[in-house]
Amino acid sequence: MAGPRDLTTAVLRFGQMLRAAGLPLTLGELMDGVRALEVVDLLDRQDVYLALRTTLVARREEFPAFDRCFDVFWRFQADEGQGLDGLMSPADAAIPEEHAGNTGAEAAQKKVSVALEGWEEQGDDDGEPLEVPGVSDREILMDQDFSSFPVEDLDEVARLTILIAKRLARRISRRKRPTRRGGIIDMRRSMRANLMKGEIIELRRRERRRRKVRLVLLCDVSGSMDLYSRFLLQFLYALQNVFGRVETFTFSTRLTRVTEHLKGASYRQALAKLTEVRDFSGGTRIGESLQEFNARWGNLVNRHTIVLVLSDGWDTGEPETLANEMLAIKRKAGRLIWLNPLLGNPSYEPLTRGMAAALPLVDHFAAAHSLASLRELASHLNLR
């Protein structure tokens, strides 16, 4: 039978198709769909259909689009060997004539394919770096969940992402260093310098000390992250190109260093390089991936390093392995942060085995479902 992870991955991918067909779904509604499937008989295709239509369709006029997508998507899942147990019977495997050829639903399926080649088509055509926008940015986009962004807003999202990355890059240490001009008055040093003079005649000043902080970014690109991988990789691309010291890795069932892939004049060029990574939209073995990171790249982490893990916490490996590898990173890193896009859903609880194992070991646990959530990261990018 299908497990919770199978249900989540299948519903998230189905949600991609429905959004491409015009249904304005949110992550919360998709998670409602997952919960609905958990209480129906997965061997009964009609039960599955009604459970998803009830939770994912808000208006009667959306029924035809939902029906077309449901028919094509679940047949596609069965043909690819990815379907849930019992959703398709052998007699249903053949696509009827009315769905043969390039139907709207099939086009939608291709359009929302998680393959990076499909993402690249959304990029800028001239290959020039994206410009940082001014004060006219549409603030409404900041709070919108990445899973519900329409295609026409992707360019604006890219620009705002770069703006946020530049803001994060300006974050500096709270510690101060002496300076002769500017800065703020350092009363302790001023008093010490004038102890023998009877009155304070010389003021000492201090300013913020800039530390050479390294960022290590570990991004989950497994199937359950499909709704967010595009935006999070866009964010990592921006960080890679505005920070001085950044190392970036992706993981699914294995770890891949993509630091050099993300360096480029445009995000489209970076995506072209990322097509070399063949681990997108697969399973998730977070513990084993972190184990490989510690074994091969552990020397990148020290007390001046901030490690960011971007993942929904779904892990098919052993939670003990994940906990041990997280502990190894925590002991060396200056700060360990976990960003989970599912945390943007008010009903989300970190109850999966992987998330439960990792959570006690992180210094900061936050959402990564919107531009606003990424912007709030600024107050936590510091070494204390």
Listed ranges 2-16, 113-127, 176-190; the one with the highest mean pLDDT: 2-16
Q: How far is 212 from 19, CA to CA, in rounded Å?
A: 43
335 bridge partner residues: 306
Q: How far is 114 from 13, CA to CA, in rounded Å?
A: 9
**pLDDT tens digits, one per residue of 38-77:** 888 887 888 888 999 999 988 877 888 888 888 877 765 5
For residue 357, pLDDT over 80 is answered with yes
For residue 29, pLDDT over 60 is answered with yes
By the 10 Å C-beta count (0-12 exposed, 13-18 middle, 19+ buried), 192 is classed as exposed
pLDDT score of 228: 86
**CA nearest neighbour of 14 among 60, 69, 55, 64:** 69
Tokens representing residue 366 in the block: 């936050």
**pLDDT tens digits, one per residue of 289-304:** 999 999 999 999 999 9
Average pLDDT over residues 235-249: 89
For residue 374, pLDDT over 50 is answered with yes
Q: What is the pTM of this model?
A: 0.62
In 3-state terms, what secondary structure has residue 41?
coil
Taken as a whole, the chain contains a residue count of 384
**Residue 105 backbone phi and psi in degrees, to 5:** -65, -40
Q: For domain 214-380, give its CATH number from 3.40.50.410, 2.30.60.10, 2.40.10.10, 3.40.50.2020.
A: 3.40.50.410
**pLDDT tens digits, one per residue of 243-277:** 878 999 999 988 999 999 888 767 777 877 787 77
Q: Which amino acid, 3?
A: G
**Residue 110 backbone phi and psi in degrees, to 5:** -65, -35
In 3-state terms, what secondary structure has residue 60?
helix
